[in-house]
Structure 1
Amino acid sequence: MRLMVHLIAGFPSLAGFSEAARALHDGGAEILEIQIPFSDPTADGPAITLASETAIKNGFRVVDIFEYIQAAKDAGFKRIMVMTYANIPYRYGIARYIADMQKAGVEGLIVPDLLVEDEENFYALTVKQKIAAVPVAVFGMPPDRLALLKPFPKIYVALRSGITGMETCISADTQKFLQKLAKNHEVYGGFGISNAAQVKTLAPLVHAVVIGSYFTRVLQQALKDNTPIYQTIAKAVEELKG
């Protein structure tokens, strides 16, 4: 079972992020997806939106992401993805953004609101820089849209439409959809995964089960209760693994 876990850069702090990342790695997570917070997200649920807002209020800047990438490496992660919304690489400069992420050792870039055909040369530049672009597919996506994803070895699959953090049902149709994609792609599947039963069902169908809002909520509760971040996150990982 591979887990791809999600943390927000800047939340709750570099030290707190590092503790959470270390607990996730020690608990067996293989891939860390780090989100660059953005002020106007389109797919984030309440927990991630609040965490992003907090990070920005606390002074997080896009250039700070490299400290968090290093913290993830220091925690033991060898596979790191960076996720954010299109406005961030546009403002940073797409070519510079891709080059700097590649130099930092990032494996893949996820930009959920950047359509493949509206690439602004983003996807072509990732190929040139030898860093993976990871487009997002959504369960139920029509065949003509899925056809556009054929050139990409790695795909993030949102198991339903809407925002993160809401309950997700992994139906028989969802499973067929994932199995079809997994024939030609390395598939990371998530959106609303928050219990061991979901993880057990999803794990055989994907390269990695993606868990995001769940850990953000656990981290927020740890801060509220003033409980140790490492121990709280570590316990949450064990519960998810069943």
Structure 2
Amino acid sequence: MWSGLPDQNLGRFFYPCLRSVDKSVIIYDTNTHNVLHVLTQHTRYVTTCAFAPSTPLLATGSMDKTVNIWQFDLETLCQARSMEDQLKQFTEDWSEEDVSVWLCAQGLNDLVGIFKINNIDGKELLNLTKESLADDLKIESLGVRSKLLRKIEELRTKMNSLSSGIPDEFICPITRELMKNPVIASDGYSYEKEAVENWISKKKRTSPMTNLALPSLVLTPNRTLKMAINRWLETHQK
């Protein structure tokens, strides 16, 4: 049962599945059906689950007479979606609902209502300026406006990277940007060193690609990939 996050936006992407046989709850991506999380703390059959209406919390109830509350990192959930699915849509093609999901992932939940009232879709989002945020959308907080503009600029940068013909193996799965210092993690995938170090420092000991536990936290410089990226840059930079 999915009771949804704000306006059930994330319900379009993630759903929980109860598995009574092994007493677990599995969180799936609704588009790819990839497993994002497996929750295994109950000692008897899990009989019910529900998401909180306004925060990223999941409650699960079991025949072991306990109710567990799970807190999810929205950014992690969104990053856990497959790379192929992430590439299906450019930001400029986002619907108003997609923009709402993105706002929640950035911790800007309070802006969802304002954006919906003003019918801000992906194309409108990319065209927002500091003037339009203050004058048209009436966002009073300078800090919120500044954060939003930074996030929008990051979207523009990522869009430019995706549309520039950069080989996908040169793009970090976490940042979706061209890698400068690629390293190989124990899951066999390469990431930008700073990005995966930040991922691990937040106690995320799972693979950003598979969401399975990392066998080791050792990061090995991928010199071969770095040389390939440098060669590509030499032939494509003006």
TM-score normalised over the length of structure 1: 0.30
Structure with bigger RCO (C-alpha 8 Å, 6+ apart): 1
State which structure, 1 or 2, has the greater radius of gyration over its C-alpha atoms.
2
TM-score normalised over the length of structure 2: 0.30
